[in-house]
Structure 1
Amino acid sequence: MSAGAIVMMIIAMVIVWGGLVASIVYLRMRPEKTDSPFEDPDLVADDTARSQMPHPTRDT
C-alpha cells in the first residue's frame, strides 16, 4: 500500500470510530427518557384498547 492509501485509511478509521465514540458519549450524557409521568391519557387509552383487540390476520 502506498503512503497516500494508508493516510486515507487512517482518516477514514478516525472518522468512523470517532463518530461511534461521540455518539456513545452523547447518549451517556443525554439518555432517552422512556417513563415520563406526563403521558397523554388519550394515547394511554388508545394503547390499552389496542392491546385488548385480537391480532389482525390475513386470509390471502
Structure 2
Amino acid sequence: MSASAVFLMLLAMVVVWGGLILSVLAVRAHPERTDFPPGGEDDLREDDAPLEHDT
C-alpha cells in the first residue's frame, strides 16, 4: 500500500473510532432524560379505549 493510502486509512480510523469514543462519553455524561414535559399519560381504559388503526 502506498503512503497516501495508509494515511487515508489511518485518518478514517481516527474519525470513526474518535466518533465512537465521543458518543460513548456523551452518553455517559447525560445518560437519560429525567424531566419530561407535562402530559402524555397512559390511557388505561380497557372498554372505552381510543380506536387503533392498522396503517
Q: Structure 1 length as normaliser, TM-score?
A: 0.63
> After superposition, where does 1:1-60 map in structure 2 within 5 Å?
1-33=1-33, 35-36=34-35, 39-40=37-38, 42-44=39-41, 47-48=42-43, 52-57=49-54
Taking only the aligned residue pairs, the percentage that are identical comes to 37
**Runs of 4+ off more than 6 Å:** none
State the superposition RMSD in angstroms: 2.4
Which structure exhibits the higher relative contact order, with contacts defined as CA atoms closer than 8 Å and separated by 6 or more residues? 2
Q: What 5-or-longer segments of structure 1 have no aligned partner?
A: none
Q: What 5-or-longer segments of structure 2 have no aligned partner?
A: none
Q: Structure 2 length as normaliser, TM-score?
A: 0.68
